[in-house]
Amino acid sequence: MISKKTYGIEKPEGDINYGDKFSMVKLYFDKTLRYIDENLFFSASAYMRYYRKVPTESEFRKFEEDLNDELKQRFENCEDNPEKFDKAVETVLNNIRN
C-alpha cells in the first residue's frame, strides 16, 4: 500500500490477498550471549511497516547503524549477566512489536 501511494501505482482489477504482512529482524549472539553486531539484519519491509515510507538507501543505512549502536549498548556485558540479557531481549521484542 505504501509503494502504491508513493509511486502512483493503480490498484489491480479484482482483489488480491497477499495475507498477513510480517517484518524480519535477526540478532545474533555467540554461545556466551555476546551480541554479534556485524550480523544484524533488519528488513526494509519492516522499516516501511514501522515508518510508513520507503527509505532512501542512505536513510536505511543510517537507521541500521543507529539501531546497531543501540543494540550494542543494550547487550553490553550481558555475557556474565543472564538477567540483563533477558531484560534486553524483552525490551527489544517489546519495541519491535509496537
pLDDT tens digit sequence for 6-55: 666 666 666 555 555 666 789 999 998 899 999 999 888 888 888 888 99
Cα R_g (the chain), whole angstroms: 17
The residues facing 41 across adjacent strands are 26
Tell whether the model's pLDDT for residue 90 goes beyond 70.
yes
Query: In the numeric block, which cell numbers belong to residue 96?
Result: 519491535
Whole-angstrom distance, CA of residue 25 vs CA of residue 93: 10
Whole-angstrom distance, CA of residue 15 vs CA of residue 33: 46
Nearest to 70 by CA among 46, 49, 42, 30: 42
pLDDT for the residue numbered 87: 94
Query: Model-level pTM?
Result: 0.71
